[in-house]
Amino acid sequence: MKVPFVDLYAQYLGIKAEIDSAIAEVIAQSAFIRGKHVDAFEQAWAGALKVKHSISCANGTDALYIAMRGLGLRPGDEVITTAHSWIATSETITQAGGRVVFCDTQEGTFNIDPCLIEAKISKATVGIIPVDPSGQAADMDGIMAIAKKYNLWVIEDCAQAHLATYKGRFVGTFGNAATFSFYPGKNLGAYGDAGCIVTNDDTLADWTATFARHGGKGEHVMEGINSRMDGLQAAILNVKLPHLPAWTTARRRVAARYNELLNGIENLATPKVGDDRNHVYHLYVVATDKRDSLKKTLADSEITTSLNYPKALPFYPAYAYLGHKPTDFPAAYRNQSRIISLPIFPEMTDEMIEYVADQTRHALGDGSAVRSKMPKLAKV
């Protein structure tokens, strides 16, 4: 059996008629850049999260950059972010003129550790960017309390966490602003690049929308950038959004089945979910000391896995100038060589999940008879 890491074509086949007609409509209307499909998606996404404004842009990286500019980042300002994320989270701090200050993660959840943030605050600190890695909310109470105490802004990088919740509230609704990516492989993905900023702040919404569209249409009130969402991407997202809750449920069901099947394997840690959080499993990340051999055995069994991410950010050449040592970020440093993301996508069949779990058990030398047969999950 072959198990891909994600299967975007399988998802397309499930909604083919809707997608094909949405694409045909955009072409018939020549509604290629912004326009009514984009307006409709901005409204629908804000409505889904129960936030006031959703400002579309070209991708999730731009969303971070635009939000930081909108919050008035000035050269030399310091922004604290997690040591273990995709580089978009930190590179945009530099791009916006700021200085990157990394903070270590919690070993079990890979989230920024709020207990360590305070020690990173200096006179130059202006904001915090927590990430919801893999689809699990960061500790928002802890982070917001520090932000309040020191008068810092918070931008939530929710690129991996569409519809994830913390204490019953959607991520993206806690900070001054939040950013989402609709990169094809994300939980809500377009057929190309797309992203957005969400906020309840009217002034910030207005500024970011103006900045992202050349500083205003007709009257340029300032110099801006060109960061727009395509009509095609918005039309595709409009078709997909109503399916997102069911796809999220399906992801959670795959994760629950993995948890059952992988339970009790010595040397393997399944995902740890924090209190009061609804994990949306953009990724299903396990950790083991035998990571490299597990990855190889799974590849030999035609199972595609991924490492998210193989190095914590401070240890890439891009950040060599900060001069960090492994002991500066012990949790992230330990995790980077232990984590591996197993395939997870809403259309995964029970046979695929069992196959991945069996091969994982086998690779880790766990000879115990494959667990008693569980009742089959309905096909998604």
Ligand X SMILES: *Cc1c(COP(=O)(O)O)cnc(C)c1O
Tell me the closest approach of the beta carbon of residue 159 to ligand X, in angstroms: 3
- Nearest to ligand X of 281, 355 (CB atom): 281
Of the pair 24, 87, the CB lying nearest ligand X is at 87
Question: Which residue lies nearer to ligand X by CB, 113 or 354?
Answer: 113
The position carrying tokens 């060599």 is 320
Residues pairing with 102 in the sheet = 81
**Residue 222: other Cβ atoms inside 10 A:** 10
Tokens of 32: 């290629």
For residue 350, the minimal CB distance to ligand X (Å) is 28
Q: In whole angstroms, how close is the CB of 157 to ligand X at the nearest point?
A: 5
Whats the size of the chain, residue-wise?
380
Distance of closest approach, residue 349 Cβ to ligand X, in angstroms: 26
Q: How far apart are CA 15 and CA 11, in angstroms?
A: 7
- What whole-number distance in Å separates Cα of residue 160 and Cα of residue 171? 10
- When the beta carbons of 109 and 359 are compared against ligand X, the nearer one is 109
Q: How far is the CB of 344 from ligand X (least distance, A)?
A: 15
Question: Which residue bears the tokens 């490299």?
Answer: 292
The residue sitting closest to ligand X, measured at its beta carbon, is: 60
> At its nearest, how many Å lie between ligand X and the CB of residue 89?
5
Closest CB 25 distance from ligand X, rounded Å: 24
Pairing of strands 53-57, 195-199: antiparallel
Nearer to ligand X, 137 or 261 (CB): 137
- DSSP E strand boundaries for 153-244: 153-157, 165-166, 169-170, 177-181, 195-199
Residue 138 tokens, joined: 């960061």
| Integer angstrom CA distances of residue 268 from 55, 255, 271, 287, 294 | 41, 15, 10, 6, 10
Backbone phi and psi for residue 305, each to the nearest 5 degrees, phi listed first: -120, 180
> Taking the complex as a whole, how short is the minimal distance between the CB of residue 267 and ligand X, in angstroms?
28
Q: How far is the CB of 297 from ligand X (least distance, A)?
A: 27
Contact 56, 229 (CB under 8 A): yes
Q: What is the DSSP letter of 105?
A: B
Q: What Å distances lie between residue 343 and 2, 109, 353, CA to CA?
A: 11, 18, 8
Nearer to ligand X, 60 or 175 (CB): 60
β-bridge pairing 169-170 and 277-278: unpaired
For residues 159 and 191, what is the distance between their CA atoms, to the nearest angstrom? 16
312 or 364, CB closer to ligand X? 312
Pick between residue 86 and residue 110 the one whose CB is nearest to ligand X.
Answer: 86
Q: What does DSSP say about strands 195-199 and 177-181: parallel, antiparallel, or unpaired? A: antiparallel
Query: In the complex, which residues of this chain contact ligand X (CB under 6 A)?
Result: 59-61, 85-86, 88-89, 131, 157, 159-160, 181, 183, 193, 195
Looking at the DSSP bridge assignments, the partners of residue 365 are none
* Pick 176 or 360: Cβ nearer ligand X: 176
